[in-house]
Amino acid sequence: MSESDGLHEQGELGNINVNEDVVAHHASLAILEVEGVASISGKGSFSDYVGVKSKDVDKGVSVKIDEKTNLCSVNVEVNIEYGTNVYDAARKLQRAVKNSIENLVGLQVSSVNVAIRGLVISEVPRSAAKNRAA
């Protein structure tokens, strides 16, 4: 990502530059707080291999800031915990990301696109355990 990627504002006291990576990190932290989200996914994400909420959070989050409008679009790839309503979790995730970026960074969010990449099963369901024992 180059220095030109992100939000640039020239104010009375000088320039303010916010890199897209900073916005992505805010989004990542908000995502990990959403109930039902097991981990952030993405190419090479450590959490994909271990199925936990990793500190390697930004791999499955990309942010694009339109320099003309200062609107921000976010793409997210996550793994969901087994037993979670996928659509409810995705909607909560969208709201959490939008609120975090708008409140903490000051950018308006035009879209939060969510891709559910996997399902994480933390426990073997009892019915499956009974079938294995039989």
Tens-level pLDDT at each residue, the chain (134 residues): 444 566 666 778 888 888 899 999 999 999 999 999 999 997 654 444 444 444 444 589 999 999 888 899 999 999 999 999 999 999 999 999 999 999 999 999 999 999 999 999 986 666 655 665 55
Q: Which pair of tokens denotes residue 55?
A: 């500190």
Residue 46 belongs to a domain: yes
Torsions phi, psi of 125, nearest 5?
-55, 145
Check residue 12 and give its pLDDT. 83
Check residue 53 and give its pLDDT. 42
Residue 1 belongs to a domain: no
- Residue located via tokens 């079938």: 131
How far is Cα 20 from Cα 43, in angstroms, rounded to an integer? 18
Check residue 133 and give its pLDDT. 59
Q: Output the domain CATH number for residue 129.
A: 3.30.70.1350
Range of the domain at 27: 6-133
Residue 15 belongs to a domain: yes
Residue 94 belongs to a domain: yes
Residue 40 belongs to a domain: yes
The torsion angle over the Cα atoms of residues 52, 56, 57 and 59, rounded to 10 degrees, is -110
Check residue 50 and give its pLDDT. 44
Based on the structure, what is the number of domains in the chain? 1
Residue 29 belongs to a domain: yes
pTM for this entry: 0.75
Per-residue pLDDT tens digits for 81-97: 999 999 999 999 999 99
How far is Cα 112 from Cα 76, in angstroms, rounded to an integer? 7
Residue 87 belongs to a domain: yes
